[in-house]
Structure 1
Amino acid sequence: MSTDDFSFALPPFKPADALVQLKRSLRDLRTLSERGDGYELKGSKVMELAAGDSTIEAKLARRPSRQVPEWDRFTLASSTEVRKFTDEVKKRLARWTEEDR
């Protein structure tokens, strides 16, 4: 038996399930408030999330703003992309709270 006989397929990406996990991870950060389909930081909308048939569509503010923020858009189609997005959220939160001081 050769090593080519073994193939490991990742489980199919389920956007609705991944969105539940992502929201749980965001709640664990404790600095964001969930409002409808989005999240706020100190009253400023900083993120919007929506699950589609095969992806999660995410918008992340470049900076918190009480007006309409400038958005960076992300299409998350795998668990790896969801983890990278979560890491990006953490980086921005750290930067925003540092800038607030």
Structure 2
Amino acid sequence: MTTDDSGFAPPPFKPADALVQLKRGLRDLRALAERGDGFELKGARVIELAAGEAAIDAKLARRPSRQVPEWDRFTLASSADVRKFSDEVKKRLARWTEEER
């Protein structure tokens, strides 16, 4: 029996609820400060988030910059996408911290 035949479907993705959870997780990283619809690292904007009807639109800076940063754009349309985005944020934070040393 495959998982498709099991009759179980994942719960529908609710972008507004997922955004609340994502923001909570990002606040827990402590290095980031929430400002409006995004997060900053030492005063530099590094994340911008917006919930749409079907997905969360996210932008993650390639490098922290007090100027206008270069953004990588992500569309988070499932819980798996949100987890991958959170993992990517953690990787970049670790890299940025290491580069500061």
Q: TM-score range by the shorter chain?
A: over 0.9
- Count how many residue pairs are aligned between Structure 1 and Structure 2: 99
Is the partner of 2:62 in helix, strand or coil? Answer: strand
Matched residue, 2:23: 23
1:62 CA displacement: 0.1
What stretches of structure 1 move > 3 A for 4+ residues in a row?
Answer: none
Please give the per-residue CA displacement for 1:27-77, whole angstroms capped at 9, x wherever unaligned: 110000000111000000001000000000000000000000000000000
Q: Give the RMSD, CA atoms, in angstroms.
A: 1.0
The code of the aligned residue for 2:30 comes to R
Task: List aligned pairs for 1:1-101, cutoff 5 A.
Answer: 3=1, 6-101=6-101
% identical equivalent positions = 80
Q: Deviations over 1:13-35 (max 9, x none)?
A: 00000000000100110000000
Unaligned runs of 5+ in 1: none
TM-score (structure 2 length as normaliser)? 0.95
Structure 2: any 5+ residue segments left out of the alignment?
none
The separation in 2 between residues aligned to 1:72 and 1:96, in whole angstroms, is: 15
TM-score, structure 1 length as denominator?
A: 0.95
